[in-house]
Chain A
């Protein structure tokens, strides 16, 4: 299926290649570079690029292109999903997935890629299986290995590979048994210039960090499971049980994993936690424009709105902006015309504002595009949908684990590219 993999950095250098079948010359990447040149933004490279003899499927993450070379028909999502899984694994192993990290750990990377695919077909992608085969590099282990000559490579087939619960290894032991669950919700919304909501959706995930001895069997129930409209599970969750009782019953993987991601049904009204008041105006004939922006909290159930970051793409005609923030700092990039304002925490008594003037190109006409404002923020201890975990029980083991549940609401769609909460359409 997957013939070869090339890793390409932001400046267009191939810094790693791996072949699972016969070697494909790296000149095949020229087609990719052509597409890269044509694209205005790094994100605009089409994910699937046909070439005369091969097909290139690429994903872009952490400013690295992972380019897979395909020779014949295969579901494209299969390859894309796999490439993302590779990135996740690297991140899991090295903490970050950067060019430097990959180059520093090139042997582990190679060993991992060798285990993850056989003849281009995925062989082991579960992180706990991989970790038994190839131990993640730590400073201590590197030192020990150089002294004792022992290796990072496991000699036995990981127990998970053959078991009915491939995500969990046997013989897990902890002195402190703990299970933490983070309910994280994100709001996506588009708000028009008059302040009314065009669309607003909440999606959430439950990320878990479970460090429990033995083979624990957990159940997690909600106060209001009806809120969950559409869900997808980690393979450990028993689907039948969810269908029948709306209870999450599972034998958890060891360590960090995403238990559940969900979507809150669109029938429920979505509370929008912040509002924006703005006034951006240009006077005809003048080379100056006024800029005014005020933020305020709204429907936050008394919780503080933190880590607020506002960004906006100003019209091309704007040369510079001279603004005065009431709190936080702002930057304006005259080349990309990107204005970003790091607000910090919103104090309801003293609303943060950003006021000042913009200078326009002399003689340039009044911009007619509508700038949009993107906002990121966090609210601790609040799941904006109102979802509440009822209880967490453990069966199968005797000890009493420590259990913790945390709620958080964030703005944004996904990834770290421009988290977009509110697009305020502003009159020109």
Chain B
């Protein structure tokens, strides 16, 4: 009772409640707005607070909003302020936000640009790379020139990771402003020459997006790409393989000729005497070695765990390999069928296309295509398609037995598809037509309607091939007719009756009689066939059917569907002769009873091979946007020599390459590229050493230029005594090593930094054969010290070595070995140690400084502690940080230092201007990265008090 009273109360209250709500709607609407603002206001406040953790929390919530697809754009001004945050996670989240909303808030987005420009010069490669990533993702057309500049700069960055990002940025800029195409192609051309496996995939991707038709850019890089391929990351492999497939189809002749000889040194080519060959008009096919190289280098990738790579190699073989080599891809493709369902779907589609042309490839694996009850419907139908394609005289009985179990499947749509497949097999293989037909007739007594209907449709198609022998089947179907309700099946039976009415002269008129009764209730396709049947019977058996036909034609005349009205009118004119009907009615019988060709049951994958396998277009069977057509083989191979490149001796590769790069930086690239073009591969070794020396010459040629400025290499002002630990005695099992920078020009090479290594043995046994392993893990060129044969217990020895850091603070990693052990060690140079001091006059200094402005200049203002202000102290602090020469200064408050980078010899100019109590540090150098790193170190040195 209580409950019911409460219920009543509620009931009584509820209308009032609703009323209240209605009354409140405008108010709550007003309230809602401020409340919502409030919430964002709250986030705004958090973003503007001083606490890092609050800001981070706010950004995390904003990212949550973005992820849910909510609009957070009004927070833009508050967020963009944090773009320069020190906290890297906060910074990254701001980047995420910026990229999402910059397009909508272009003006405000511009505020952040300078931060990225600064970050582009950061010594940390990850920061440089992510700055470029974000900068290029801000889709604001005004910054196109800035992006272009940044991309060009990053494309020559020392870090391959940054260069990879540059390759990605190319595509972004291209989609923002296609007018930049020509400039971007230049960058692509440069990056294509890159030898880093990290860059290769990304730059080929850029190539495919920006200029896929510039096949000429690939020639010189073709062999390199083939050889790098195995080591490229898997996504890059897919892109490169697809591109090389297209390339190969334009450059090599077809290997598919019937008389082809596939191997250069195959028996036939060997035994063919000269005369015979001259007699033989057609030259035997010899595969271009570059074509062979591609096939050989992609083959191991069939074993990749990445299904996209396996598919890419498979399509490459399908489109490029001689037919007899195709079989190697079969196993790998079948293996992919054990992967995820979506992978199966794509692979099965491709196999379906292949199996039409080449049954033999997949026939041994027929059982892999057997359908499982747990397969998804689209997988089942594809498997059915393939099984149908694979059917031949030998295996048809096995396949049909398998099909029989499918017909009984609980998935009726699949059962219907199986019946279609049986029909296909029956027409393709004449031996089994009768068996199939009998089987299908048995299915007519199936309880499921879809199965029966599908069988009728398929039987109709089959009967058309040989109707005379099958009047009993037609009779059987006529009997079934009353129980079949599926319109398509009814229509099919009626058509059969009409077409072969002479074989069933007694039944057909009776069927027509029944149809006349139900005409108005039938579906349209059935009605059309009734009219057809009536017309045909009228022509063959007018005595019995004249009245029926007229009745049906009258019904049709007033049908609601105008298709049926039209057909009826046409038939009437055709078969019932009257004075108006012309010559046509004379031919009525010939028109209606003309023998009709049997329908061809074709695979849906018949013409899919017009698309390159493995592509989206192939999957959809229609051309997707951006699809690149695979060209036909050329009749005559284009010039092969375009792919020839100067082969350099592999061991010396990094060194030469780096020297070469330096020259590019020094704007002498034209001269150099001329050099490399001139020298051909045949004289590889010689020419490489020649070009090496040539390049050294060019370097030397530069020196006089500098000497004109009166700058002289000088001895270091200050050599720090501090040494750094290389190997601790605990990790080194008693062997410890320390290193220090001598700051002297290295005697082992002009571009090397000289190092002193002190090795001590703290064990109680002598250590033997201490040396540096030959295989260095990073790219640096290292001059090893001579192996120390024996180091007595508690003894130590000092040796010197040289490392070409290539003007980068990237650590040099190498293996320090004893007789028994190997220790991985690394030397991380401070930027100041990568310099050599030079002296020059004050005038020259200002002149050079004037040349190195803009991007090449970085500066900072600091507050000096009083004890640091003295000239001695400034000088001492700067030279202790960096190996620079001091330039005698005329002005009291200005200090100048100069040096050059060890590897490339670029000028590095440092000036410190004191303006009590502040000081401005300016660093000018082409090596912007080093410049900004050096700036930071000088800054900390000058702000720290102490000696």
A235 with B202: CB separation less than 8 A: no
Given A234-B305, A239-B300, A369-B409, the answer on whether A47 and B377 have CB atoms closer than 8 Å is no
Given A107-B63, A157-B129, A369:B410 Cβ within 8 A: yes
- Tell whether A369 pairs with B52 under 8 Å between CB atoms, given A23-B100, A47-B345, A59-B342: no
How would residues 297 to 316 of chain A score, 1 for a CB under 8 Å from any chain B CB and 0 otherwise?
00000000000000001011
Q: Which of B304, B338, B628 contacts A73 (CB 8 A)?
A: B628
Chain A residues whose CB sits within 8 angstroms of the CB of B64 once the complex forms: 106-107
Chain B contacts of A17 at CB under 8 A?
Answer: 67-69
Q: List residues of chain A with CB within 8 A of the CB of B933.
A: none
* In the complex, chain B residues whose CB is within 8 Å of the CB of A214: 824
For A164, the chain B residues whose CB sits under 8 A away are: 231, 777
- Please tell me which stretch of B84-92, B141-149, B579-587, B638-646 contacts chain A, meaning at least 4 of its Cβ atoms lie within 8 angstroms of it: B84-92
Give the contacting residue for A121; candidates B168, B335, B402, B410; CB below 8 A.
B168
Q: How many residues of A contact B (CB 8 A)?
A: 105
Which residue of the partner chain B has the closest CB to A61?
Answer: B340
- Chain A nearest CB, measured from B206 CB (Å): 9
Q: Are A121 and B306 in contact (CB under 8 A)?
A: no
In the complex the two chains form, is B300's CB within 8 Å of A15's CB? no
- In the complex, chain A residues whose CB is within 8 Å of the CB of B896: none
Given A59-B340, A106-B64, the answer on whether A48 and B161 have CB atoms closer than 8 Å is no
- Within 8 Å of chain A (Cβ to Cβ): is B525? no
Residue from A15, A161, A233 in contact with B198 in the complex, judged by beta carbons closer than 8 Å: A161
Question: Taking the complex as formed, is B572 at the interface, i.e. its CB lies under 8 A from any CB of chain A?
Answer: no
Binding-face segment, A218-226, A343-351, A414-422: A414-422
Known contacts A16-B67, A72-B626: A423-B373 contact under CB 8 Å? yes
Contact yes or no, B616 A157, CB < 8 A = no
Shortest Cβ distance from A396 into B: residue: B822
A323 to B421, CA, bound (A): 39
- The reply to whether A22 and B139 form a contact with Cβ atoms under 8 Å apart is yes
A155 at the binding interface (Cβ < 8 Å): yes
- Cα–Cα distance between A164 and B372 once the two chains are bound (Å): 43
Do residues B89 and A151 form an inter-chain contact, with CB atoms below 8 A?
A: yes
Chain A residues near B408: list those with CB within 8 A.
368-370, 428
Q: Scoring A residues 231 to 254 as 1 if CB is less than 8 Å from chain B, else 0, what string do you get?
A: 111110001000100000000000
Which residues of A have CB within 8 Å of B447?
Answer: 365, 368
Which B residue's beta carbon lies closest to that of A415? B340
- A90-98, A110-118, A176-184, A281-289 - interface stretch: A110-118
Tell whether A393 is near chain B: CB-to-CB under 8 Å: no
- Is B698 located at the chain interface by the 8 A CB criterion? no
Q: Is there a chain A Cβ closer than 8 Å to B464's Cβ?
A: no
The answer, among A22, A258, A313, for a CB contact under 8 Å with B373, is: A313
Point out the residue from A44, A76, A190 that lies within 8 Å of B616, measured CB to CB: A76
Q: Which residue of B lies closest to A114 (CB)?
A: B96
Establish whether residues B235 and A78, one from each chain, have CB atoms under 8 Å apart when the complex forms: yes
Tell me which of B178-186, B307-315, B509-517, B547-555 binds A: B307-315
Asked whether, in the complex, the Cβ of B53 is within 8 Å of the Cβ of A146, the reply is: yes
Interface residues in B111-128 (C-beta closer than 8 Å to A): 124-126
Interface residues of A in 10-51 (CB under 8 A from B): 14-19, 21-23, 26, 40-41, 43-44, 46-48, 50
| B168-A153 in contact (CB<8A) | no
* B620 to A, closest residue via Cβ: A50
Contacts of B124 in A (CB 8 A): 155-157
| Residue among A162, A229, A316 with most chain B CB within 10 A | A162
Question: Which of A80, A152, A170, A420 is B342 in contact with, Cβ under 8 Å?
Answer: A80
Assess whether B617 is interfacial by the CB under 8 Å rule.
Answer: yes
Closest to B234 in A: A235
Q: Tell me if A385 counts as interface (CB < 8 A to partner B).
A: no
- Report the Cα distance A249→B262, complex, angstroms: 33
Q: Are A46 and B378 in contact (CB under 8 A)?
A: yes
Q: Decide: B88 and A153 in contact? CB cutoff 8 A.
A: yes
CB <8 Å contact, A398 and B821: yes
Interface contact A71-B625, CB-CB below 8 Å:
yes
A362 is an interface residue with CB less than 8 A from chain B = no
Shortest A345–chain B CB gap in Å is 25
CB-CB < 8 A to A22: which residues of B?
103, 139
Closest chain A residue to B410 by CB distance? A369
Inter-chain contact A118/B342, CB cutoff 8 Å: no
Say if the beta carbon of A203 comes within 8 Å of chain B.
Answer: yes
Interface string of A357-380 (1 = CB under 8 A from B): 000000001001110101000000
Is the pair B338, A414 in contact by a Cβ cutoff of 8 Å? yes
A415: B residues at CB distance < 8 A? 340-341
Q: Hey, what's the 0/1 contact readout for B132-173 against A, CB within 8 Å counting as 1? A: 010011010000000000000000000111001100110110
Cβ < 8 Å to A, chain B residues 51-67: 52-53, 56, 60, 63-64, 66-67
Tell me if A233 and B89 are in contact (CB < 8 A).
no
Q: Which residues of A contact B893 (CB under 8 A)?
A: none
B405 within 8 A of A: yes
Q: In the complex the two chains form, is A77's CB within 8 Å of B625's CB?
A: no
Chain A: which residue is nearest B175 at the CB level? A21
Whether B899 sits at the interface, judged by CB under 8 Å, is no
Distance in angstroms between the alpha carbons of A420 and B370 in the assembled complex: 13
Give min CB distance, B650 to chain A, whole Å: 15
Asked if A55 is an interface residue, CB under 8 A from chain B, the answer is: yes
Q: Given the complex, which residues of A lie within 8 Å of B624, measured CB to CB?
A: 55, 72-73
| Distance (whole angstroms) from the CB of A215 to the closest CB of chain B | 7
Q: For B68, list chain A residues within 8 Å (CB).
A: 15-17
Contact status of A80 and B340, CB under 8 A, knowing A22-B103, A73-B625, A157-B125? yes
Kindly state the separation between the CA atoms of A109 and B234 in the bound complex, as whole angstroms: 23
* A242: nearest chain-B partner, CB-CB: B303
Assess the A420–B372 pair: CB atoms within 8 A: yes
Q: Which residue of B lies closest to A186 (CB)?
A: B338
Residues in chain A near residue B312, CB distance under 8 A: 75
A232–B303 contact, CB under 8 A? yes
Assembled-state Cα–Cα distance A375/B624 (Å):
43
Instruction: Verify if A122 is at the interface (C-beta below 8 Å from B).
Output: yes
The verdict on A331 contacting chain B, using a C-beta distance below 8 Å, is no
Q: How far is A28 from B773 in the complex, measured between Cα atoms in Å?
A: 58
B617 proximity list for chain A (CB < 8 A) = 73
Whether, in the assembled complex, A320 has its beta carbon less than 8 Å from a beta carbon of chain B, the answer is no
- A73-B625, A77-B308, A199-B370 known; A40-B377 Cβ under 8 A: yes
Contact A203 B172 (CB under 8 A): no
Nearest B residue to A419 via CB reads B374
Smallest Cβ distance from B620 to chain A, in angstroms?
5
**Distance in angstroms between the alpha carbons of A258 and B160 in the assembled complex:** 28
- Give every chain B residue within 8 A of A195 (Cβ-Cβ): none
How long is the Cα–Cα vector from A46 to B378 in the complex, in angstroms? Answer: 7
Structural contact, B307 and A81, CB atoms closer than 8 A: yes
- Report the minimal beta-carbon distance from A60 to chain B, rounded to whole angstroms: 8
Is B126 within 8 A of A263, CB to CB?
A: no
The contact string, 1 if C-beta is below 8 Å from chain A, for chain B 301-342, is 001111110111000000000000000000110110011111
Residue in A closest to B446 when the chains form the complex, CB atoms? A368
A41 to nearest B CB, angstroms? 7
A340 CB–B CB distance under 8 Å: no
In the bound complex, do residue B346 and residue A80 qualify as a contact, i.e. CB atoms below 8 Å apart? yes
What residues of chain A lie closer than 8 Å to B308, measured between beta carbons? 75, 77-78, 80-82
When the two chains form the complex, which single residue of A119, A229, A398, A417 contacts B172, counting CB atoms closer than 8 Å? A119
The smallest C-beta distance from B348 to any residue of chain A, in angstroms, reads 11
Question: Residue among B137, B172, B331, B341 with the most chain A CB within 10 A?
Answer: B341
B619 close to A (CB within 8 Å): yes
Contact, CB under 8 Å: A73 / B627: yes
Q: Which of B598-643 contact A (CB under 8 A)?
A: 614-617, 619-620, 622, 624-628
Contact, CB under 8 Å: B88 / A151: yes
- Give chain A residues whose Cβ lies under 8 Å from the Cβ of B367: 198-199
The 9 residue pairs across chains A and B that have the minimum distance between CB atoms = A72-B626, A151-B89, A47-B342, A157-B126, A153-B89, A122-B235, A77-B308, A199-B367, A43-B376
CB<8 Å pairs between A and B, sample of 10: A60-B342, A78-B308, A119-B171, A121-B235, A154-B126, A235-B304, A263-B338, A369-B410, A370-B408, A415-B340
Q: What would 5 more interface pairs be, CB under 8 Å, given A19-B100, A23-B100, A170-B824?
A: A111-B89, A229-B331, A398-B821, A415-B341, A418-B374
